[in-house]
Amino acid sequence: MKDKNTIFIKNKCLALGFDYCGIARAEKLDDDARRLEAWLSKGMHGNMQYMENYFDLRIDPTKLVPGAKSVITLLINYFPHERQKVETPKIAKYAYGQDYHEVIRAKLKQLLLMMKQEIGEINGRGFVDSAPVLERAWATKSGLGWIGKNGNLLNKQAGSFFFIATLVVDIELVYDDPFAKDYCGSCRRCIDSCPTDAILDNKVVDGSKCISYYTIELKDALLPEHLKSRFSDWMFGCDVCQDVCPWNRFSKPHNEINFTPLPHILNFTSNDWEELTEESFKQIFKNSPLKRRKFEGIKRNLRFIKS
């Protein structure tokens, strides 16, 4: 039996444009802590030193919100209506529209305000990707899907092209059953298709080998020459492991206007990218995830895949 607060929250999540909402009891993630520690100890985070920070906060929601009782996980679809031109530097689909951090953060603030107005005084914090929260672990605990071999959360109805957001609150709610089954079976498409062999057999992704890591996270002036032939024109991020996943045959175009692709991302040719000035880049992509890599980083990636 769902209580009225839980029903209210789930209805408001849908009204705000989220596609799925699951709720789990706030508790320490002991198993995930061990997996994260092992992953970090093997250096699979590469130069992403920030992933070593706030370890205790990542595994214990009560350290993020004192007295935390519930973790609300939200999924929002970003699968686009349109694709880039075939012969153009490729950009991961999540970066086609506006910066999702800003879009989703605004929705989480609105949700928390609605909850306070309806339920009463609530302490809570919303997180979108950039904070020390193990989003996929909480998504699984709240029944929204399972972790695929490519490390992504997979949902039976929608695949994996969605953003995950988390809201930690200090009120008791009705909790969803954890997602207990793995539907990847013997499929190895993501493993076999990864251009840089970053996906290992045991559901572990070596982040230090991923094209997304090289093109977004790695700040070095030069990219590794021995991998040049493997990048397949990926200039910002990589979608190969998602594109080949059979579960993404269920992906449907999103309904979020803020994720509408920028015309420049869809229509820019290689020449357009090469002729792009820093001033134009800052203007065109001021609200885009591409601004994270900055102009010089984009130019570095472009030189690498075109040389």
Q: What is the pLDDT of residue 222?
A: 86
Q: How far apart are CA 173 and CA 3, in angstroms?
A: 7
Catalytic residue IDs: 129
Other C-beta atoms lying within 10 Å of the C-beta of residue 123: 14
- Strand 234-236, strand 90-91: pairing: parallel
Q: What is the pLDDT of residue 207?
A: 85
Q: What is the pLDDT of residue 33?
A: 62
Q: Which residue has the tokens 């992504």?
A: 152
Domain boundaries, the chain: 4-169
**Where are any strands of DSSP class E within 92-184?**
124-127, 146-147, 153-154, 162-169
- Per-residue pLDDT tens for 190-247? 999 999 999 988 788 888 899 999 999 888 888 999 998 999 899 999 999 999 999 9
Q: What is the pLDDT of residue 221?
A: 86
pLDDT < 50 positions in the chain: 1
Looking at the chain, list the stretches that DSSP marks H as alpha helix, in order from N- to C-terminal side. 4-15, 30-41, 55-59, 100-119, 135-141, 189-193, 211-212, 240-243, 263-267, 270-275, 278-284, 294-306
